[in-house]
A and B are shown apart, each in its own frame.
Chain A
Amino acid sequence: MSEEKDFLLYIEGLGVSFDGFKAVDGFNFYMDRNQVHVIIGPNGAGKTTVLDLICGKTKATSGSIKFKNKEMRGLKEHEIVRAGVGRKFQNPSIYENLTVFENLEISHPRGRGVWGCLVFQRTEDVSLKIRSVAADIGLLDRLETEAGVLSHGQKQWLEIGMLLMQEPELLMLDEPVAGMSVREREATAQLIRKISAQRSVIVIEHDMEFVKEIADRVTVMHLGKILAEGSMEHVQHDPAVIEVYIGH
């Protein structure tokens, strides 16, 4: 592909090795704006590692990650977040002791610096923003609830909501529907479709029905490498993919 096109995320030759073990190797990935791109693959394929590399949690040993044509490799985690990349973890990672409102408030981008944090005021626009995000994630009536007592599914949504507060242009969700009921899955699928109207979303998921429902594009990973890429229809009929999923 040519570099002329204005990709949102442009990854080439990305690799990382742990003590000689190549968890991700020669990974190329190109992403447009307002897309939902799902990464699938068997356990140990390196999916979560790819997200770790993009968001700076793990340092890459080779390759390049360009977000809005700016190199992300070598930046610190918070700098990557501030550039517009949000990351949801596999296990819901929220502040159990704070209320839903406070969880969302703490994710508001204003007052991230030490000084800004000290003089931060809960102004009208902050409250409005929190209420609108809470409405999106279906927690508007739980704003004063302590986050620790939410159900598993609600915690997952709350974490997505916290990312939405950051107004990211790229959202990365690691197994957002794991452990959810069928109805919760449907709601989550709708939520992802809705939020992808204004931003791009990378999703790691195992649930093929769910993937079919949300994916614009699918990448299949196996042993740290890309096995196939394209529409869901396309990868489902790829002989290499079938071999990996059924051959074992």
Chain B
Amino acid sequence: MNIQELWSIFIMQGFAGISLFSVLLLMGLGLALIFGQMGVINMAHGEFMALGAYTTYLCSSLVQDHAPALLPVYFPIAIVLAFILSALLGALVEWGMIRHLYKRPLDTLLATWGLSLILQQTYRSIFGAREVTPTLPEWLMGSFKPTDSIDIPINGVFVLLLAGAVTAGLMVFMFKTAFGLRLRATVQNRLMSGAVGINTKMVDRMAFSIGCGIAGIAGAAFTTIGSTGPDSGSRYIVDAFLVVVFGGAANLLGSLASAFGIAQAQSILEFFLEGTKGKVATLLFIVVVLMFRPQGLFPSKVRS
């Protein structure tokens, strides 16, 4: 293996990592909102992602069976639908469960784990235990070939752009809109926010459902890099939580940086170490770092 080949491997594994990065980032953004801002541990977050993935799959089957002409354009619509459905389910869950448990974070964790079991079995009953793959539009297939030895898949680029757009959208939403201001105010001081007339219950529900909706988008993105099974979501949940904690819980940019680092490390190590060893090495590194630096990479500065 000469330098040239090694370089190509880095670039290609790097791009493979970019797809993983995009999914982790989208998962992480949703969690950063729900966990980082609201302090709620949503163990069913992966199942919201799976909901988005299944929504995309359903759209693709419907289009394929009834309107094959729409195949090239259905994907963006599926993404929007994935967001809406996941957000609606999120709002329902917030109303039925989460809002009763805000004072008991550890219990939220257990209750949402129960929810994730129920959702997984629901998916299994509806879609079967076998993994499914939506038919992707032509234009998502194929790859660029900038040089002979480098091969960059288009779907990876698309997912990266999608993740970038969602990140930018969320940033604007959090820091430039009135709702974002209310959300940040509520997080910092719930009682005061209530006292100045912010409907904190509504803010909680909106934040939770938007977080879940972003997980739905993550699911739609996920379908371009892997096939969806009932437990696809739960396979990403630990990684997603580590992304948020490692990045510094309340910090969206931190999540971005840590999602990038984790995805690239996993992807590149996976090439050199067989099997799951790359993932184990990456996770182990993060856990050890967190033991020495529990506040994560980019902690928010608060005088305690």
A contact set with B: CB distance below 8 Å: 18-19, 21
Contacts and interface: CB of A to CB of B under 8 A. Distances in A.
Interface string B288-301: 00000000000001
| Interface of chain A, main secondary structure | strand
A187 to B, nearest CB: 32
Interface residues of B, number: 2
Interface string B59-103: 000000000000000000000000000000000000000000000
A18 B303 CA distance: 6
4 contacts: A18-B303, A19-B301, A19-B303, A21-B303
A119 B301 CA distance: 43
Nearest to A19: B301
B300 to A, nearest CB: 12
Nearest to A57: B304
Contacts of A21: 303
A96 to B, nearest CB: 15
Contacts of B301: 19
A180 B303 CA distance: 30
Contacts of A18: 303
Nearest to A52: B304
A110 to B, nearest CB: 32
Nearest to B303: A18
A21 B302 CA distance: 12
Contacts of A19: 301, 303
Contacts of B303: 18-19, 21
Interface in B13-57: none
Instruction: Please give me the 4 A-B residue pairs with the lowest Cβ-Cβ distance, nearest first.
Output: A18-B303, A19-B301, A19-B303, A21-B303
A206 B232 CA distance: 60
Nearest to A21: B303
